[in-house]
Structures are given as structure tokens and as C-alpha cells.
Amino acid sequence: MRAIEPIPQSMQAAVLHAYDGKPESLRVEARPVPRPARGQVLVKMTAAPINPSDLMFLKGLYGILKPLPVVPGWEGAGRVVATGDDWLSRMLLGKRVACAAPNQRDGTWAEYMLTAATRCVPLSDSVSDEQGAMLIVNPLTAWALMDITRQGGHSAFVQTAAASALGRMLLRLSQHFGIEGIHLVRREEQAQLLRSMGARFVLNSEAPDFDAQLHAVCHQLNATIAFEAVSGMTALRVLQAMPEGSRLVLYGALSESPLMADPRDLIFQRKRIEGFWLADWLVGRSVWQQLRLGRQVQRALGDLLRSEVAARYPLSAVHCALTDYQASMTAGKRLLVMGS
């Protein structure tokens, strides 16, 4: 192990003891600080956001169940203070990085996190730790979805949960690349927010004529791909409204319900359903593509891919942060700030 400062034996961390979504199952407590082996880095965390995928993880509804007890948190930022004794890891020693949690061990809601060197993106000086902490999950996903739209030759797309942090990034990217989007929300103030950002096609799924309107605008714009984060009947309604041969790409399940689809859309209209998971998409890129992507996304963090921070909380107030976030996700991100 190489280190740039003394590493303590113990740290504070939010620790999950059961996948039941109960507040008492998540406790802030002392936990040993792990030591990096070959290919690994120890990140002294400075900030970590709460994302929808974290909420799903706490309830055991995320696609990955880690052995319990475990520290939640899929992404964050900090400084690499110790590394394994290999070339790639040592390159990161002392660097500020955005980092993703390992798939089977402790995550970012802690003072320190051990992860693979390959799961870190060195941060440019122009990117703050706060924005860097939110570099991976939303900006990279938004970038990937736009890439899928452009590679697939789709001239327009539909997105649900369009007022989310990710939805707003996708809106800005689509404006940048000149691709039309149809943005679906569930509340009028969300619709107004998106219209104030310049969105031209915003529909409220609670409106009585929603299905007819969505059908009309999907066919008018030839929107043949949908990015769907709600699941349940929302997926069915979106796919039903789209032209023949359309693709629905599911990347979330905010309704916590099984996806539904009308068999006739699949059989007679050649419509297809697939999923999107950022980790899989990244595996499909080469190391050089990933490095280039990291630079592109960091340059766009200031505008196209910026995240609004609604509030900051110390790690000890993780429950307040979770409660506030669930009460209004549209208001912006809640950040856990470590060592503050």
C-alpha cells in the first residue's frame, strides 16, 4: 500500500442492516477503514449524492443486493489517499476523483471508500468536488441515452420522469444536438419548469386527454425511442402511443411495479422493449472511449450536465436528507458532505 497521509483504523459510515426501507435499518456508526490491495484505491470522500437508484437499493428493489451490513451510495467524489502497489492505482494517488462504488461491497456514504482504480475518473481543476460527486450516475446516463438516440438514427425521443435531474440533462443535451424530445411529467409545476427551460413538447400524464395527445405528438415527430423510468402502466401507455417499430428503453422503475405492455404492440407493431444499465453501457466502451467520455462530460458539467443542489447534509443527518429528497425529488439533489 502507498499512502499520502495517515489512514485511521475507524471511520463513520451510514450502514444498512436490512433491505426493508425502514429508517431504523440505516444507522450511522463506526466501521473499519479498509486497506487497498492491487488495483484498488482508498478514496477519502468529500461528497456523495442521493439518487433514485439509492432509494431503490435501500428497499432491496435495485438489481443488485450486496451482502449485509453494507454502506449504501453508488457515487461520490473525494481524494485518493492510499492505493495498491500497481501502476494504474499509483497514478491516482493524491488526485481528486469522481468514484463509483464496487458492485458487491461498501459504497460512498462514508468517510472512506475502497474501490477499483478503474471505477474512478480524475477531476479537472474546473470541476468542484460537489459537481464531481454527481458526475457518473446522471450525466453519464444522460450522455449515453443521447448517444443511443443518435446512433439509432432517431429524430425524436420520448422520456418519462422528465423533470428529474437526469430528465433535465437529457432535455439540455437534446437542445444542444438538435433532437426533439417529448417530455412526460406527472405534475403541472414540473411541466412549467421544463417549458421555462425551452422544452416545446411537455405532456402531463394526469391530463384526461394525455393518451390521445401523446399519440398525436409521437406520430407527428416520429418519436421511435422512449426512455422510461417509471415502469408499470406508464410503460404500456408510452409504447402504445408510439409509431410502429418503436423501442422502449427502461432505465428505472420509480413506480416500483412490474413493467406492462400491450401484446398487440409487440406482436403486430414490431415494438420492442429493452433495458439500460450504465455499467453495461460503459463495459461496451474501450478504455480510451471512457477517458474521452470522462473529459467530455466534465466539460459539460457546468451547463448541459449540471445538477442543481437543493441542500447539503452532514453524514450524521442522512435520514433527514433521505426524507427531504423523497418529499420533493424535483427540487434538486441532496448531497451528503463528509468531514464538514
Query: By the criterion CB under 8 A, which residues form the site for a second copy?
Result: 61-64, 231, 236, 250-253, 258-277, 280
Q: How far is the CB of 217 from a second copy (least distance, A)?
A: 23
Q: How far is the CB of 202 from a second copy (least distance, A)?
A: 25
Which of 85, 86, 83, 103 is CA-nearest to residue 95? Answer: 83
- State which residue, 61 or 197, has the beta carbon closest to a second copy: 61
Q: How far is the CB of 154 from a second copy (least distance, A)?
A: 17
**What's CA 285's distance to the chain center, in Å?**
18
Q: How far is the CB of 233 from a second copy (least distance, A)?
A: 8
Burial class (CB in 10 A: 0-12, 13-18, 19+), 75: buried
The answer to whether the CB of 327 falls within 8 A of the CB of 319 is: no
- State which residue, 47 or 161, has the beta carbon closest to a second copy: 161
The answer to whether the CB of 47 falls within 8 A of the CB of 82 is: no
- State which residue, 109 or 227, has the beta carbon closest to a second copy: 227
- State which residue, 7 or 273, has the beta carbon closest to a second copy: 273
Q: How far is the CB of 262 from a second copy (least distance, A)?
A: 6
Phi and psi torsions of 252, nearest 5°: -160, 170
Structure-block grid coordinates of residue 44: 477519502
- State which residue, 37 or 266, has the beta carbon closest to a second copy: 266
The answer to whether the CB of 159 falls within 8 A of the CB of 227 is: yes
Structure-block grid coordinates of residue 72: 449504501
Q: How far is the CB of 261 from a second copy (least distance, A)?
A: 5
In three-state secondary structure terms, 123 is coil
Q: How far apart are CA 114 and CA 105, in angstroms?
A: 9
Q: What's at 323, amino acid-wise?
A: T
Q: How far is the CB of 186 from a second copy (least distance, A)?
A: 18
Structure-block grid coordinates of residue 166: 437526469
Which of 27, 57, 21 is CA-nearest to residue 137? Answer: 57
- State which residue, 2 or 272, has the beta carbon closest to a second copy: 272
* Residues written for the chain: 340
- State which residue, 73 or 84, has the beta carbon closest to a second copy: 73
